[in-house]
Amino acid sequence: MSEQNDELDRLVKEGPVGEIFRAEQALRILDTTGELANEINKNNYGEVFSTFQAFCIDQIILSINKLYEKPGRSYQLKSIPAILNYFLEKSQSLEVTQPNLLKQQLMRLNMQVLETEETDQYTMNILIHQKMINHIPDISNNETLAALKTLRDKRIAHPEDISVESLPKPTWSAVEELLTPAKDIVGIIGDGYLSTAYMLEDGEYLLSTDATRVGRGIRRLLGNLGIQASNNRWRR
């Protein structure tokens, strides 16, 4: 791969790959502890796990904000918009390492690029970049992303003296949906430009399976404490 591809690989691995994983781990922890909430409380572990849940909620808010943060002028980011900026800047030099896998990912997302005999690699990269830009949410037109930014700015990063009840309360299903376009971008870049499989042809994000392990581990831990699953669902 070219030096530009290597740098793209570093940005993707250190940025969105890690943040998606941390967010999914936190979501699975919330799923498991929420499902067992009644039993946890009955066994007097409610304070412990409610604290655990609060940390997970903060992690999800931070991770999704870090995924979609727009780059500033004075510092470099490893967010998806920043990575797509880098992709555009280096379009002349970025190499497609797995063209067939790239086409599969683009077809899955209905993001095919019309090629002609005159279409060179640079032109293809520009067209693919525009498709990816159009695929990701923007804070100006996505209520959930805007709400998460407000929560980060006013409750986590800057604890303003305001009523918590006045802050937005996005649903967990809407929050989790924001991870899907991030996974798609990682899948496109990973398969097409990095020779690294993150996404299967059917849309399964491979690292999601690894992220679920923490939920199974907590379930086993709670089972050792005599806390078993019930039909109660906390989040869905």
Average pLDDT of span 26-47: 90
3-class secondary structure, 232: coil
Q: Give the per-residue pLDDT at 229.
A: 64
- Indicate if the pLDDT at residue 116 is higher than 70: no
- Indicate if the pLDDT at residue 118 is higher than 80: no
In sequence order, the 6+-apart residues with CB closer than 8 A to the CB of 181 are: 135, 136, 137
Q: What's the whole-number average pLDDT of the chain?
A: 90
Q: What is the pLDDT of residues 154-211, one digit of tens each?
A: 888 877 777 667 778 888 899 999 999 999 999 999 999 999 999 988 889 999 999 9
Q: What is the 3-state secondary structure (H, E, C) of 9-50?
A: HHHHHHHHHHHHHHHHHHHHHHHHHHHCHHHHHHCCCHHHHH
Between CA 17 and CA 19 the distance in angstroms is: 6
- Per the listing, tokens 């009955």 go with 42
Between CA 26 and CA 66 the distance in angstroms is: 15
